[in-house]
Structure 1
Amino acid sequence: MDQENMLHYLDTFDDLLFRTNIFGHFSSSGFITNKTHDKILLIHHNIYKSWGWTGGHMDGDDDFVAVALKEAQEETGISDFSFVTTDIASLDILEVPGHFKNGKYVSAHVHLSLAYLLEADENDAVFVKEDENSGVAWFPINEVLDVCTEEHMKTVYQKLLDKLKQFEK
């Protein structure tokens, strides 16, 4: 259903790659696993106050893969990622509650989210990007849903965990 709605929005709006669309806009995310697929790298997101995936706004870029990689690098400090698969792993319309960012109020809207399964070396150094997150950590795969406090995102993460099982090593 989300895919059908996203296609409808593409027919309705001509600016979905920009956050200036106050209804919503596209975002691209990475769900990052280690090489053995038994851990997931999560960031503690400042706005959502929850552990979750990396990702961000398109800001006019129409290369969803490049944005997912850029955001993963910026938000974790890791520079070397590979794809578990280059196929889109999840399409979701996600609610974003109203919040303050950089001292300005951002109204509630939706993210038209495309997500990819990424892989990284868990021994690579990570760092916090203070304007976006307050933590970066690897979690055992069976703890991911426990550390996420956003109930609606647990469904998305479960979908991604199920998809990841198709690529078990």
Structure 2
Amino acid sequence: MDFKEQIKEFIPDNDQERQDKKILVQYIELFPHNVLLRDNEIAHITSSGFIMNKALDKVLMVHHNILNTWAWTGGHADGDEDFLKVAIKEAKEETGIKKVSPLFDHIASIDILPVPGHIKNGQYVSTHLHLSVAYILIASEDEKLVVKEDENSGVKWIPVERFTEDYFNSYDVYLYNKLIKKARDYIKKNLKSTLIS
């Protein structure tokens, strides 16, 4: 399916997702030639992976070098229209895990994320926006974790109870708890469907 159609088919759960989806759709129309590329220095599409364990009570995170905080995995689309493939590739590269699969194949969340100005590979990168298309991914806690030193300084499973303002900024608390709820709601809904049929 065309990436624009996937985004249009995404059903927002709240005002933030409705507004961010509206802006993303408009931005794609304005910049169809480079919305998937870093050449668009104002904003470009990225694909994020929110990696949970099978029990949905822990999240696999990396300690991000640029942001200097624990964060989910993800990366630039770099022209690839298969956002799920990008999210899975980035999840593996950034954590060292070998097996990861989506909880479901459709987009879990659309979020516009600010990226502060920083130095990357000796070059200054101006403040810009990541137009994040996110997926909920599932991996085993038994997987060996490996730090990707050029991007992060740590990889670990974090219990869901830690997603509070004691450990994360308020927007990340909102974002991560939103995804935890979506994962758990999906499992509850599908468990009920299985029991009914």
Which of the five TM-score ranges fits, normalised by the shorter chain? over 0.9
Aligned pair in 2 of structure 1 residues 151, 48: CA closer, same or farther (>3 Å)? farther
Q: For 2:145 and 2:20, how far apart are their aligned partners in 1?
A: 33
> CA offsets per residue over residues 75-111 of structure 1, 9 Å max, x none?
0000101111112111011111101112211000000
Aligned to 2:171: 152
- CA deviations 1:2-29 (Å, max 9, x no partner) are 0000000011012110001011100001
Separation in structure 2 between the aligned mates of residue 146 and residue 153 of structure 1, nearest angstrom: 9
More strand by share: 1
**TM-score after normalising by structure 2:** 0.82
- Alignment of 1:85 with 2:107, yes or no, is no
Mapped contact 1:29–1:114 kept (Cα < 8 A): yes
Segment of structure 1 superposing worse, 139-148 or 80-89: 139-148
Q: Does 1:12 pair with 2:26? A: no
Q: Which entry has the higher C-alpha Rg, 1 or 2?
A: 2
Structure 2 residue aligned with 1:21: 40
Percent of residue pairs identical: 49
Question: Matches of 1:23 and 1:109 in 2, distance apart?
Answer: 5
Q: After the TM superposition, which residues 48-67 of structure 1 pair with which residues of structure 2 at under 5 Å, given as runs? A: 48-67=67-86
Deviation at 1:144, TM superposition (A): 3.0
Q: CA deviation at 1:150?
A: 3.8
CA distance in 2 between partners of 1:130 and 1:157 (Å): 24
Are 1:138 and 2:141 counterparts?
no
**More helix by percentage:** 2
Indicate conservation of the 8 Å contact 1:58/1:64, yes or no.
yes
**Which of 21, 28, 42 is 1:3 aligned to?**
21
Cα 1:110–1:141, aligned 2, differ >3 Å: closer, same or farther? same
In the aligned structure 2, how far is the partner of 1:76 from the partner of 1:146?
Answer: 24
Matches within 5 A, 1:27-46: 27-46=46-65
Alignment partner, residue 5 of structure 2: none
Question: In structure 1, how many angstroms separate the alpha carbons of the residues matched to 2:98 and 2:167?
Answer: 25
Alpha carbons 1:35, 1:119 under 8 Å: kept: yes
TM-score by length of structure 1 reads: 0.95
Counterparts of 1:148 and 1:132, CA distance in 2 = 21
Q: For the Cα contact (< 8 Å) 2:114–2:129, is it kept in 1?
A: yes
The root-mean-square deviation of aligned C-alpha atoms, in Å, is 1.4
Match of 2:9 in 1: none
CA drift at 1:113:
0.3
List 4+ stretches of structure 1 deviating above 6 A: none
Between 1:59-68 and 1:158-167, the stretch displaced more is 158-167
User: What number of residue pairs does the alignment pair up?
Assistant: 169
- Greater shift, 115-124 or 154-163, is seen at 154-163
1:146 Cα offset (Å): 5.0
Residue identity in the other structure for 2:120: K
SS of match in other structure, 1:80: coil
